[in-house]
Amino acid sequence: MTASDIVITATEKKPVSFYASVAAAAGAFAGIFVGAAQGSTLLGLICGAILMAIVAYVAVEVLGREQEKPLRWGLVILFAIAGFLFGGTPGGVIGALFGWFFGWFVYWLGFNRYRAHLVPYLTPGQVLWHYAFRVICGAIFVFLITPILVVMPLSFNAENFFTFTPEMLRFDPEGYSLRHYRDFLTNTEWTNAVKNSLMIAPVATLISVSLGTLAAIGLSQSHVPAKRAIMAIMISPMIVPLIISATGMYFFYSKIGLVGTYWGIVLAHAVLGIPFVIITVTATLVGFDKSLTRAAANMGADPVTTFFRVQMPLILPGVISGGLFAFITSFDEVVVVLFVGSAELQTLPWQMFTGLREQISPTILAAATVLVAISIALLTVVELLRRRSERLRGMSPG
């Protein structure tokens, strides 16, 4: 097959039965959500399927490629107007997005453009799985991320509600406010909770990193007996249901007088963070060249000097990544602290749980948004460190 044949294959017109049926399926899926918002899911499904089948036929068979740009802009405008009539300004924005997507989608299907970036020898079944896999992954991502995306704009609600007010749906500036963030930053209950979390999480992280790194290095040695059993025991706090771990810690700490104390919470969170450090450091040690430590020993370096001068710089990305995971675990944990904590040592997640259970304070939404922002920042750092670690080990280009 020549290059010209590939170009022709990737741009030839597909049968009406193919692109119309696929466009109808996509329209039916979108119509489910639109119909649900209007109170009739079945009607939305049927109307969406019929509408998109007609749009696909008109775009490909009647107008063709020559009128692609006007049609796509026309769909954006028509869908935006329809969305505005049914749902106001938010509906208009969503309608415009739908119009842009379907205007691109029908031409992408009708003129075989979905094969343009694929190798020509793929069978129809392989092409279907190629895109189905991406759709499934995208659907899972949307399912996971939607609750977070809903909470963030609600934290700017001007009223004491956990729902979008009519003013917010109209994008009226009167419906938005920073009052909940002001309450979060000025209310003594919330500020004390943040202070307690900031006092506990760093110390718990330091203990987790210290013990977890040493454990990972020890378990990486070939002469250690029963390494698999020891590893299973060390990471068991991550596997065992948290309520069981919290109950066990409560009965154990109550015997030694640590329930309700600062160090009791710190040690409990350190136990939960150690498995993350062990896993990330162990993964980093997989690519570590052990001949470097032997060379350092031959040059007269003692084990401590070898660790800090040779081994630690190379495994530092894994150590920092594990520390960040341990910090997030401690900062976000609520179950264990309910068992081993006290009223004077309420952490931020505990305060959020109390607010949900007792007073339904919308300040919880502001606190949740702050936690999400912190988590995103820390996970971004983790990803940057992972890439740096791969570059250091020669697993990716610089």
Q: What is the pLDDT, as a whole number, of residue 3?
A: 44
Work out the angle between the directed axes of helices 262-285 and 227-234 (0-180°, nearest 10).
140
Q: What is the pLDDT, as a whole number, of residue 211?
A: 93
Question: Per the domain annotation, does 150 fall within a domain?
Answer: no
Q: What is the pLDDT, as a whole number, of residue 8?
A: 43
Structure tokens given for 171: 């994008």
Q: What is the pLDDT, as a whole number, of residue 396?
A: 53
Among residues 120, 136, 162, which one ends one of the domains?
120
Closest to 11 in 3D by CA, of 107, 103, 111, 105 = 111
Residues lower than pLDDT 70 in the chain: 1-12, 358-359, 389-390, 392-398
83 and 223 within one domain: no
**How many CA atoms does the CB half-sphere of 94 hold within 13 Å?**
17
Question: Per the domain annotation, does 370 fall within a domain?
Answer: yes
- Count of structural domains, the chain: 2
- Specify which residues 176 forms β-bridges with: 157
387 and 282 within one domain: yes
Structural domain that includes position 248: 187-392
Residue 108: CB partners within 8 Å, gap ≥ 6? 114
CATH number (domain holding residue 362): 1.10.3720.10
212 and 106 within one domain: no
Q: What is the pLDDT, as a whole number, of residue 392?
A: 63
End-to-end CA distance of the chain, in Å? Answer: 36
354 and 232 within one domain: yes
Going from the C-alpha of 136 to that of each of 19, 27, 95, 140, 141, the distances in angstroms are: 20, 17, 23, 6, 9
Other Cβ atoms within 10 Å of 397 Cβ, number: 6
10 and 92 within one domain: yes
| pTM for the model | 0.70
Q: What is the pLDDT, as a whole number, of residue 7?
A: 44
Going from the C-alpha of 227 to that of each of 22, 215, 230, 300, the distances in angstroms are: 53, 11, 5, 29
| 235 touches 282 (CB < 8 A) | no
Question: Per the domain annotation, does 31 fall within a domain?
Answer: yes
Q: What is the pLDDT, as a whole number, of residue 187?
A: 87
Report helix, strand or coil for 331: helix
Q: What is the pLDDT, as a whole number, of residue 114?
A: 86
